[in-house]
Chain A
C-alpha cells in the first residue's frame, strides 16, 4: 500500500460548484497533515494544514478522519483560479520528511 493515495482525477467542475477530494494514508501513527496546491509547471505551495478538529480557510475546508486514515479537502464556490493539482501530504515515521501524494487534478470551467 502506498503511503499516501489520491484519486488522480481530473475533476472537471463548473464555476461555483463544490468539489471534494479525499486522500488515504497508510501510517496510523502520522501526526502532521497538509494540503498543497501545485499550478502547472510551478512549485507546490502550502494551501493549509489539517488539524484533528477540522479547519476552514475561506472557501476551503479540511477534515481529518484518523479512524479511517483519510483526509479530505472541500472547495466551495469554485473559481477558475482554483484549477490546479492538489497534493495530500503526511509526515513520515522517521520524522525527517514528508510523504507527498501524486496529486488530484482540478479543472474549473466557465
Chain B
C-alpha cells in the first residue's frame, strides 16, 4: 500500500532563517505531488505541484520554492522565512491530477 511521510511534525524558526521540509511517498511510482499551506482557521492554499522529476509548477508567488530531486521526494524550501510563512504545511500525492489526493500528517510551522 502507499504511504506518505512528512517531517518534521512541528517546527519553530526565527524570522530570516532558512527552511527545508521534506516529503516522501512509498508504494507508488511517478505520483503527482503537492505542497499546501493552511493558515489558522483558513482553507487550503496550493503552493506547488509536480507531475514528474524536476517539474515544478508554482501557484502563488512568494519566498518559497519547491524541488523534486527524485520520483517520490518533494522538498519545500525558503532562504529567508517571513512571519507570514507561519502555518500548517501539507504534502499530498495522487495518481493523476483529477484523482483523490492523499495527505501527509503535516508540519506546523511557527515563525518567531
- Chain A residues within CB distance 8 Å of chain B: 31-32, 34, 41-46, 49, 87, 91-92, 94-98, 100-103
Contact = CB atoms under 8 A, between A and B. Distances in A.
Nearest to B44: A100
Interface string B75-112: 00000000000001010001011111111111010000
Nearest to A4: B43
A87 B98 CA distance: 16
Nearest to B99: A32
Interface string B22-55: 0000000000101000000011101001010000
Contacts, number: 51
A45 to B, nearest CB: 7
A98 B103 contact: no
Interface residues of B, number: 24
A44 B104 CA distance: 9
Contact of A101 (B34, B43, B97, B99): B43
B97 A92 contact: yes
A43 B104 contact: yes
Contacts of A32: 98-99
B57 interface: yes
B9 to A, nearest CB: 11
